[in-house]
A and B are shown apart, each in its own frame.
Chain A
Amino acid sequence: MNDQEPKIDLKSICKNIIGIGKNYKDPLKEHVPTDEDPFIFAKPTTSLITEGSSIQIPKGWGTIIHEVELGVVIGKRAKFVSEDIAMDHVLGYVLALDMGKSLEFDKYPILLIKGFDTSCPISDFIPKSKIENVDKLNLKLSVNGNTRHDGNTRDLIHKIPKLISYLSNYFTLDYGDLILTGTPAGISTVKHGDVIEASLENLANIKFPVVEIQ
């Protein structure tokens, strides 16, 4: 283990968070592959919080929803990169919660629904070398001790190299940028007083209380 590895503080270096929606197959159903492009949105970097902070529901919203995701951190600038070399551009990973107001994308602007402050809680940075196989990682989330999400990155529809390649065709990805790769099923609501815990295999564990702004 390299003790000299610099501590990566994503909140300081990240300038771009891109989220991918609808990116998990239902493991119980046969997945019909489609040509569909990824569902892409963004979260402002002010949405990032680390442990010690609470998830803050904007005043009056009552409830928000949770999603648990593998986040990919870019290490090397990427533009027009092909899938076969895409992983060279990865610095490491984080476990992330993609909090949202609701799934009412037709009713509210997506920036508001997905980007409000504290809507992107993340774990400590996980160096790339710590993960042998990124396609076999368990993602779990519980609310007040009750399991809500229990999925695996093997069920990603668009895999990481494809996502990096596709995104880099339109957006220059830079050092520190974060890609949230989607959530397995299990979305539910949380309210003031709830506590969310999540894990990525035995690589990361996070716990965030939820409060509503008064």
Chain B
Amino acid sequence: MASQVIKVQTVCRNIIAVARNYTEHAKELGNPVPKENPLVFGKPVSSIITEGEIQIPHGWKELHHEVELGVVIGKPGKFIKPENAMDHVMGYVLVLDMTARSIQQELKKQGYPWFLAKGFDTSCPISDFIPKSAVKDVHNLNLKLTVNGITKQNGNTKDMIFKVPDLLSYISNYFKLEYGDLILTGTPSGVSGVKHGDIIEASLDDLAKIKFPVVENEK
């Protein structure tokens, strides 16, 4: 079987993420759990990094880490039925949805969009591509994250509120899914602040491991 190295950073033209897709994470931030529909938001593809440092914009001081399973689309589609959704998946990545939490709260208070707090450069570190065939059960994957060696997040994709097929189906009703698109499926509880000098490590079962140091830009 021909093995193709997929460089998600090169092929991706769209990142759609879901917020509050793990009950305990919604609770830890004092947010209501979405009942009817997933709460979607976007990150620009310019936020993706595969190596190097996570850069806190000058003056923001701190970011929150959020470790997530990322789903990579292979077959384009629109109005995808949940039962066919997994046919559109070509693989996965381990992702950190870095978030400027205090900026996000400020923006919310002003009635402004979160885009700045979620989309700044380096706010989407990803692992190497994981082919679909490497994952037996996408709803039984361990997501772990440590900061300076201390475990902060330790969850499992079985706790997703909206499962992957339902997420893809819902998203595809409004946004056509294209080859290379990246869907971030939410983070378990344990989000915490990181600042200049911290080192984040994360793993997805034994399928992927990433390590990113955090620095604050001097501007």
Q: Which residues of A contact B (CB under 8 A)?
A: 15-16, 18, 39-42, 44-47, 58, 79-80, 105-106, 109-112, 115-117, 169-174
Query: Roughly how many angstroms separate A83 CA and B200 CA in the complex, as a whole number?
Result: 35
B213: interface (CB < 8 Å): no
Q: A18-B44, A172-B46 are in contact. Are A46 and B121 (CB under 8 A)?
A: no
Residues of B34-61 whose CB lies within 8 A of A: 39-42, 44-47, 57
Count chain B CB atoms within 10 A of each CB in A105, A109, A115, A173 and give the residue with the most. Answer: A109
B175 and A116 contact, CB distance less than 8 A: yes
Chain B interface size band reads 20 to 34
Interface residue? B120 (CB, 8 A) = yes
Contact, CB under 8 Å: B176 / A170: no
CB distance from A166 to the nearest CB of B (A): 10
Q: Are A109 and B57 in contact (CB under 8 A)?
A: no
Interface 1/0 per residue, B165-187 and A, CB below 8 Å? 00000000111101000000000
CB distance from B187 to the nearest CB of A (A): 17
Residue from the list B111, B112, B121 in contact with A171, Cβ < 8 A: B121
B119 located at the interface, meaning its Cβ lies under 8 Å from any Cβ of chain A in the complex: yes
Docked-complex contact A112 and B121, CB < 8 angstroms: no
Contact in complex: B40, A172 (CB < 8 Å): no
For the complex formed, measure the closest distance between the CB of B16 and the CB atoms of chain A, giving whole angstroms. 7
In the complex the two chains form, is B44's CB within 8 Å of A42's CB? yes
**Choice from A45, A58, A170, A172 contacting B13 with Cβ under 8 Å:** A45
- Assuming A110-B41, A172-B46, is B175 touching A105 (CB within 8 A)? no
Verify B174–A58 contact, CB threshold 8 A.
yes
- 4 more A-B contacts (CB under 8 A) besides A18-B44, A42-B115, A44-B16? A40-B116, A45-B13, A110-B114, A170-B121
**Complex CA–CA separation, A41 to B41 (angstroms):** 10
Q: Roughly how many angstroms separate A124 CA and B205 CA in the complex, as a whole number?
A: 48
B residues at A contact (CB < 8 Å): 13-14, 16, 39-42, 44-47, 57, 78, 111-116, 119-121, 173-176, 178, 219
Whether B13 pairs with A15 at a CB distance below 8 angstroms is: yes
CB distance from B98 to the nearest CB of A (A): 13
Contact B42–A42 (Cβ < 8 Å): yes
Q: Which residues of A contact B121 (CB under 8 A)?
A: 79, 170-172
- Name 11 interchain pairs, CB-CB below 8 A, sorted by A: A15-B13, A16-B44, A16-B45, A40-B113, A41-B115, A45-B13, A105-B111, A109-B40, A170-B116, A173-B46, A174-B46
Give the residues in chain B near A111, CB-CB below 8 Å.
16, 40-42
Q: Least Cβ distance of B126 to chain A in Å?
A: 16
Query: How many angstroms between the C-alpha atoms of A106 and B110 in the bound complex?
Result: 11
Contact indicator B174/A117 (Cβ below 8 Å): yes
Which interface residue of B16, B40, B113 has the most chain A CB atoms within 10 A? B113
Q: Which residues of A contact B116 (CB under 8 A)?
A: 40, 170
User: Min CB distance, B112 to chain A, in Å?
Assistant: 5
Task: Give Cα A46 to B219, complex, Å.
Answer: 34
Q: How far is the CB of A42 from chain B (nearest CB, A)?
A: 5
Identity of the chain A residue whose Cβ is nearest the Cβ of B176 in the assembled complex = A46
B85 to chain A, nearest CB (A): 17
B13 and A110 within 8 A (CB): no
Tell me how far the C-beta of A170 lies from the nearest C-beta in chain B, rounded to whole angstroms. 5
CB distance from B185 to the nearest CB of A (A): 15
Residue of B nearest to A36 (CB): B110
For A106, the closest partner residue in chain B by CB is: B111
> Do A44 and B113 have beta carbons less than 8 Å apart?
no
A102 to chain B, nearest CB (A): 14
Kindly state the separation between the CA atoms of A58 and B79 in the bound complex, as whole angstroms: 11
CB contacts (< 8 Å) of A172 on chain B: these are: 46, 121
A166 to B80, CA, bound (A): 38
